Amino acid sequence: MTTSAKRATVYFDPIIHKALKLKSLETSKSISELVNQAVKEALAEDAEDIAAVEERANEPLVSFSEMVKRLKKDGRI
């Protein structure tokens, strides 16, 4: 199955746009390819974070004050 690209307008900070143009030239990739790659990586990180949260869903909750006590006991604060 072939998917066609969807068009969107994105407004970049001028400095970020300049950096993207330079990277585009250096890597021989279009700005669209660079942005798509960055968004895919960000979404993959989100998926990892969601999986980690779901994996720990059944762990008991620890209150802030209990966490501070544990950190102090362990010499971390």
pLDDT in tens, 19-71: 999 999 999 999 999 999 999 999 999 999 999 999 999 999 999 999 999 99
In a domain, 4, yes or no: no
In a domain, 7, yes or no: no
In a domain, 8, yes or no: no
In a domain, 3, yes or no: no
For the chain, what is the domain count? 1
In a domain, 38, yes or no: yes
In a domain, 45, yes or no: yes
Nearest Cα residue to 22 out of 8, 10, 34? 34
Is residue 2 very low, low, confident or very high in pLDDT (cuts 50, 70, 90)? low
Domain that holds residue 47: 14-73
- The model carries a pTM of 0.71
From CA 67, how far away is CA 61, in angstroms rounded?
10
